Structure 1
Amino acid sequence: MPPQAVAKPKCKISASRKLSLKILLLARATEELEAEKAAKEEEKVRYLGEKLPPLQLIGLNMDELQKLCKQMHEKVDMVDEERYDCEAKVIKNNKDINELNLKIQDLGGKFKKPALRKVRVSADEMLKALFGSKNKGSMDLRANLKSVKKEDIKQEKELTMEVGDWRKKLEGMSGMEGRKKMFDA
């Protein structure tokens, strides 16, 4: 039996009607955004009116002005402390939220580790990445390898031959003939 195609029901609203509805929705959304901004401004003005009464500086002598300045500095310090505390709480809460999100991902088991790519990096680039610009010398790995010269190989062969010679001398020294040679020398 061939699978039957499910027919989509035709949309009963015309394209021009959809467009006009979309335009009306966008206009309504912009009006609400503007009203929300105005409400926030009014709230801000009301709050500042409560917290900061208008200053009356006319008719104050020098001592009273200094007292007023000291009071204002104290209030500014208190506000700064509150702001710092609020920022610290926000940072702490953000860290906690991130940690909890990571725990949720771990418990869900749906976290996929990204596939690692093979990257060719020279030793100089690796040191630059690790130490930054602190490392000025280049790292030539071949220069640090031990170099073996042909003379060194010949000297090693002579040493091994000398090792064999002392054994022959001992064999020659064994018995009466060897003792006689030792006294003759």
Structure 2
Amino acid sequence: MILDVGCGSKPKGDVNVDLFFAPTHRGGEHVAFNPKTIKNFVLADAHYLPFRDEAFNIVYSSHLLEHCLHPFKVLQEFHRVSNSIVYLEIPYGERCPDDCPYHLYSWTSKSFEHLLSKLFPYVQCYCTERIAEKLRSGKKSLFGDLLLAFVRKTSHTLLRRKQISALCRKRK
């Protein structure tokens, strides 16, 4: 079962969470959506997810963490409600206060991996350029296989902008 936290108008989970459904700043434009049209929509704050411990196989979140007041608290919640995998996408590196005033935090691949390793024993971080290389090289890896399966399931492209993707596992 997949939990999508910060789903917005394009949910990818079996259960989908967002704090807002009124017009909010998403992807450079103000976007509103009707939560009644989203499968299993839950209005909730990512800092306090209303689910039991280890309720989901996968917790997915795309471009949410940089907007959160307390990103480590959100990561703790992701760790708590996942029984296996947390998959995250965030913008790469540089903060852009003029273009992205809603981005409160930024990370490089290395700093994000360091943050995640405080909670997860197994962490792999890739920026989009490295993902493209890995997918083109044809080399087999757990990360690559899971990434391709996820991309196929959600029709999601990871190559549209420079970002960091992280696969975190609680256990082998």
The answer to whether TM tops 0.5 is no
Larger radius of gyration: 1
- Which structure shows the bigger proportion of residues in helix conformation? 1
- The higher relative CO (CA closer than 8 Å, separation ≥ 6) is in 2
